[in-house]
Amino acid sequence: MNHDVVVVGAGIVGLTCAARLQEAGARVAVVTADEPARTVSRVAAAVWYPTHTAGDPSVLGWARRTFDELAAQAVHGVPGVVMRRTRMLLRGPVAREPWWAAAVRDFRVVRRADVPAPFAGEWRFTVPTAEMGPYLDWLVQRVTGGGGVLLRRRIARLADVADLAPVVVNAAGLGARALAGDPEVHPVRGQVVLVSNPGLHTSVRDEDNPAGATYVHPRSRDVVLGGTFEPGASELAPSVATGQAILARCTALVPELAGARVIEHAVGLRPGRHGGARVAVDPAGLPGGVRLIHAYGHGGAGVTLGWGCAEEVVSLARRASSPRAGAAVPARRSVAPGQTR
């Protein structure tokens, strides 16, 4: 075998797992049916924010570690990563801060008296964002530049890669429904509109808009307007009516968008999972004593949880009990953000 670990999936979760495993000294191969540029991660608005994600200590830990990693990458000039101010407008009174506020460095509450009608309050905070085109390209280069390989292969079962390495990481996103036999995995359709940027720098959210969740996320050359969150829906063709409704809601929220040129209507299927992300060792493993670790079901929070989950995967791989897997991941070396092995 030429590899210590095989990662199945080349979206944001798969690539961050591959990068962290490499930092730990493992020889890594990434098996993917599609180029990273064609994964759902490419469509993501890619703002650190645990949307539709239940909080517990593990999830908070993943979110905090991912925030810190992305913030460090922004400082180091990693392509596509910047820190962006955010305004979250609230339509009803909120008795306490959200569970994820502990991971954010400058979270603050704005009084109702200082918020325009019809809003009852506002949260303000600064979070990392990533433009997924250049960021996925950078991740691929980080993996391949560190000696990893990308193997284009469509597999029908995880056992199909069991001959490649003593450890397999299943980061197949929606594909995990079939590959892991997990009926809890389901698509969550999201539609967004990309428009030219009229000079916006701050993200604005109105999640509880009765007409539909509304968010405006500026990027260097465009603005991502959203959006929809449709569990169980799998239609990839954009809806004209939905796109028009998104444009109307976002322009009402941020009037500076009036007249912005529409660049694209895009749809992605988030890899949702009832019960939340599964990041765990599979006790059954794979044929030949190969250790199997699952890392899928992040829904719309792959960018928010990815680096933290990748660290969890490294810890699980180190604790592998299989004789073949025992030395696959040695003690971790310290690697600065943006540095390859």
CA distance 58 to 312: 10
Q: At 17, phi and psi to the nearest 5? A: -60, -45
In terms of residue numbers, what domain contains 295? 1-84+127-184+274-341
Residue 80 lies in a domain: yes
pLDDT, residue 339, reads 54
In CATH, what number is assigned to the domain containing residue 307?
3.40.50.720
Q: Give the residue among 227, 231, 191 at the shortest CA–CA distance from 212.
A: 227
Residues belonging to the chain = 341
Given a contact cutoff of 8 angstroms between Cβ atoms, the answer to whether 150 and 32 are in contact is: yes
Determine the distance from the C-alpha atom of residue 21 to the mean position of all C-alpha atoms in its chain, rounded to a whole number.
18
Per-position DSSP letters for 63-100, written without gaps between them: HHHHHHHHHHHHHTT-TTEEEEEEEEEESS--SS--GG
Residue 322 lies in a domain: yes
Residue 232 lies in a domain: no
User: What would the two tokens of residue 120 be?
Assistant: 């009852």
Radius of gyration of the chain (CA): 20
Per-residue b or e along 115-131, where b marks 16 or more CB atoms closer than 10 Å to that residue's CB: eeeebebbbebbbbbbb
Our count of domains for the chain comes to 1
Up-side HSE of residue 272: CA atoms within 13 Å toward CB? 18
Cis peptide bond upstream of 227, omega within 30 = yes
For tokens 């239609």, name the residue: 235
| Span 115-132, pLDDT tens digits | 888 999 999 999 999 999
Task: Give 252's contacts (C-beta < 8 A, 6+ positions apart).
Answer: none
Residue 310, helix vs strand vs coil = helix
CA distance 270 to 41: 8
* Segments of the chain with pLDDT less than 70: 1, 320-328, 330-341
Per-residue b or e along 294-305, where b marks 16 or more CB atoms closer than 10 Å to that residue's CB: bbbbbbbbbbbb
Given a contact cutoff of 8 angstroms between Cβ atoms, the answer to whether 19 and 143 are in contact is: yes
Up-side HSE of residue 335: CA atoms within 13 Å toward CB? 18
pLDDT, residue 332, reads 47
pLDDT, residue 27, reads 97
Residue 69 lies in a domain: yes
Residue 122 lies in a domain: no
pLDDT, residue 325, reads 45
Residue 332 lies in a domain: yes
Residue 166 lies in a domain: yes
CA distance 175 to 65: 26
pLDDT, residue 40, reads 74
Given a contact cutoff of 8 angstroms between Cβ atoms, the answer to whether 251 and 258 are in contact is: yes
Residue 176 lies in a domain: yes
Given a contact cutoff of 8 angstroms between Cβ atoms, the answer to whether 246 and 225 are in contact is: yes
pLDDT, residue 340, reads 42
